Amino acid sequence: DQQVKQNSPSLSVQEGRISILNCDYTNSMFDYFLWYKKYPAEGPTFLISISSIKDKNEDGRFTVFLNKSAKHLSLHIVPSQPGDSAVYFCAASGVGGSNYKLTFGKGTLLTVNP
């Protein structure tokens, strides 16, 4: 039972345009959400996070939106750059008794074309 779902295995965008990566979750106990970026043969690198008490968090070119009622979050990258090409993982954590372990989606491969 996949508690965190990334339904798009891949996404291709042109350099300079917006990339939107989507993530859905089913467990209402999740209250902290993170996006990680992963290059081949490397470990995931933390990108941005959002607490369930917020609906938006922004860091430079990266913005994460959270819609709690829909159990949906998205990562916007504007403008997209070729160096952003990587696999992006959505992860969720339920603090307070969950030991802060992360539950990951299967990832979305983003390709930014020059």
Partner 1 sequence: DTGVSQNPRHKITKRGQNVTFRCDPISEHNRLYWYRQTLGQGPEFLTYFQNEAQLEKSRLLSDRFSAERPKGSFSTLEIQRTEQGDSAMYLCASIWGVNTEAFFGQGTRLTVV
Contact residues toward partner 1 (CB under 8 A) are 4, 6, 32, 34, 36, 41-46, 49, 89, 91, 93, 95, 99-107
Q: Kindly tell me which of 43 and 60 has the beta carbon lying closer to partner 1.
A: 43
Confirm if 73 and 23 have CB atoms less than 8 A apart. yes
Nearest-approach distance from CB 37 to partner 1, in angstroms: 11
Nearest-approach distance from CB 79 to partner 1, in angstroms: 25
Tokens linked to 32: 């902290």
- The DSSP line for 18-41 is -EEEEEEE--TT--EEEEEEE-TT
Alpha-carbon distance of 68 to 86, in angstroms, equals 27
Confirm if 49 and 108 have CB atoms less than 8 A apart. no
Nearest-approach distance from CB 38 to partner 1, in angstroms: 9
Nearest-approach distance from CB 84 to partner 1, in angstroms: 19
N- to C-terminal Cα distance for the chain?
38
Q: Kindly tell me which of 67 and 100 has the beta carbon lying closer to partner 1.
A: 100
Q: Kindly tell me which of 63 and 93 has the beta carbon lying closer to partner 1.
A: 93
